[in-house]
Amino acid sequence: MTEPLLTIDDLQVSFASGEGDIQAVRGVSLSLFPHEVLGVVGESGSGKSVTALAVMGLLAKNAQITGSVHLEGHELLGLKERALAEFRGQSIAMIFQDPLTSLNPVYNVGWQIEEALNAHRDLSKEELHAETIRLLEMVGIPHAESRVNDYPHEFSGGMRQRVVIAIAMANNPGVILADEPTTALDVTVQAQVLDALKHVLENSGASLVLITHDLGVIAGLATRVAVMYAGRVVEIGSADDIFYRPAMPYTHGLLGSVPRVDDDGGGRLRQIPGAPPSMVGTKPGCPFAPRCPMRVEICTQVEPELRLVSLRGAAPPEHLAACHRADEAMAMPIGSMFSDSSADFEEPPTP
């Protein structure tokens, strides 16, 4: 098997708060292989963004981080700011949700791309200009030559996100982390930006970690998918494994709860009762147990580890799930596990 580009091992992140430590990430292990798109799905507070920020070394000072993040043979966790800067942009780059806050409003976009190029490369003025134009054209900005001197406010939301992608690609990093890159955009604009992103990946051969809550975006782009819940990866496998053979009840619930544009709308949506747990303090058992229709006694006592649920020969990727009853869950048809009735649905208020 090929060596992973990026390996996250037992990453734990907690934040001190008045009510106790908030455990945002609780032992996440992930590997990113060359030429793959790893989709990370999960709802608000599942720890997917914090994981990405920890990898980039961008978390606030009150974050306590343990574990390891390996990139191209180097350990990133614990590195000083100056040492980290060598990797950022060069080997790994990040794309955020809101292009307006990731661009500097007082500099034109050409300047901002050149800044990224200058950080790691030694180019002449002419080379810088040519490279900037090439990057803008690569992400599909029309009339790039005449738009380099425009400011971010002169671009539409979709065009701004393309500029952000161009900046991320400036030094041809092997790994890109994209955190909800199209969530703020309208659906036709999202299609344009995803198109640009696909084009960029094909051209550069970079690998992508795509963090999103949109299962449709994941279905179109991801080769492997990790599902996160309550600060952990609860299921990981090929896109087909996750979408067609889910082995964790939470994944079943997610898939059953989304309406589809190609569905005539006769059926009912499946709903997951209750709400995600508070991340303060540790409770025994599986964090999904209070909402799980397959819960048995052991689920409230022992938190299940990620384990192999199926091995189709030796063919990677592995399909892992953190569930005591993973094999039974995998045998169930999607949509059969959760209720569609709004009558028996009563969430306890969160204290």
Partner 1 sequence: MSDLTQSTTSESAVVSDGPLLEVKDLVMHYPKRSPGIFKRSVGTIHAVCGVSFNIDAGETLGLVGESGCGKTTTGRAILQLIKATSGSVVFRGRELVGADHAALTKVRREMQVIFQDPFGSLDPRMPVGETIAEPLRVHHLWTKSEGHRRVAEMMKLVGLEPRFANRFPNEFSGGQRQRIGIARALILEPKLLVLDEPVSALDVSIQAGVVNLLEDLQDRLGVAYLFIAHDLSVVRHLSDRVAVMYLGRIVEIGTQIEVYRRPQHPYTQALLSAVPIPDPRKERSRTHIVLQGDLPSPDNPPSGCRFRTRCWKAQEICGIETPELIERGGGHPVACHFPEVTEVV
Q: Would you say 15 or 243 has its CB closer to partner 1? A: 243
Contact flag: residue 341 with partner 1 (CB under 8 A): yes
From the list 15-23, 130-138, 151-159, 278-286, the region that binds partner 1 by CB under 8 A is 151-159
- ∠ at Cα 175 (24, 216), nearest 5°? 70
Task: Fill in the per-residue mask, 255 to 274: x = in contact with partner 1 (CB under 8 A), - = not in contact.
Answer: xxxxxxxxxxx--xxxxxx-
Give the chain's length: 351
Q: Would you say 42 or 174 has its CB closer to partner 1? A: 42
Question: How many C-beta atoms lie closer than 10 Å to residue 119's C-beta?
Answer: 14
Contacts with 138 (C-beta within 8 Å, 6 or more apart), sequence order: 166, 169, 199, 200, 203
Contact flag: residue 124 with partner 1 (CB under 8 A): no
Q: Would you say 260 or 307 has its CB closer to partner 1? A: 260
Q: What is the DSSP letter of 313?
A: T
C-alpha 137/C-alpha 277 separation (Å) is: 45
Amino acid at 259: P
Q: Would you say 122 or 262 has its CB closer to partner 1? A: 262
**Edge to edge, what strands does the sheet with 37-41 contain?**
92-95, 175-179, 207-211, 37-41, 224-229, 232-238, 319-321, 307-310
Cβ 343 to partner 1 shortest distance, Å: 7
Question: How many C-beta atoms lie closer than 10 Å to residue 152's C-beta?
Answer: 21
Give the footprint of partner 1 on residues 29-48 (CB under 8 A): 43-44
Contact flag: residue 146 with partner 1 (CB under 8 A): no
- Angle of helix 157-168 versus helix 187-204 axis, rounded to 10: 20
Cβ 100 to partner 1 shortest distance, Å: 14
Residue from 15, 111, 151, 243 in contact with partner 1 (CB under 8 A): 243
Contacts with 287 (C-beta within 8 Å, 6 or more apart), sequence order: 229, 230, 231, 232, 276, 277, 303
DSSP tally for the chain: helices H, then strands E: 12, 12
Residue from 201, 239, 294, 306 in contact with partner 1 (CB under 8 A): 239
Q: Would you say 2 or 188 has its CB closer to partner 1? A: 188
- ∠ at Cα 171 (169, 176), nearest 5°? 45
Contact flag: residue 145 with partner 1 (CB under 8 A): no
Q: Would you say 134 or 268 has its CB closer to partner 1? A: 268
Contact flag: residue 253 with partner 1 (CB under 8 A): yes
Cβ 238 to partner 1 shortest distance, Å: 9
Query: In DSSP terms, which residues pair with 178 in a beta bridge?
Result: 95, 210
Contact flag: residue 159 with partner 1 (CB under 8 A): yes
HSE-CB for 23 with a 13 A CA cutoff: 18
Contact flag: residue 220 with partner 1 (CB under 8 A): yes
Contact flag: residue 334 with partner 1 (CB under 8 A): no
Contact flag: residue 183 with partner 1 (CB under 8 A): no
Contact flag: residue 90 with partner 1 (CB under 8 A): no
Contact flag: residue 284 with partner 1 (CB under 8 A): no
Contacts with 343 (C-beta within 8 Å, 6 or more apart), sequence order: none
Cβ 335 to partner 1 shortest distance, Å: 11
Contact flag: residue 216 with partner 1 (CB under 8 A): yes
Which residues make up the interface to partner 1 (CB under 8 A)? Answer: 43-44, 142, 156, 158-159, 186-192, 195, 213-220, 222, 239-240, 243, 253-265, 268-273, 275, 340-343, 345-347, 349-351
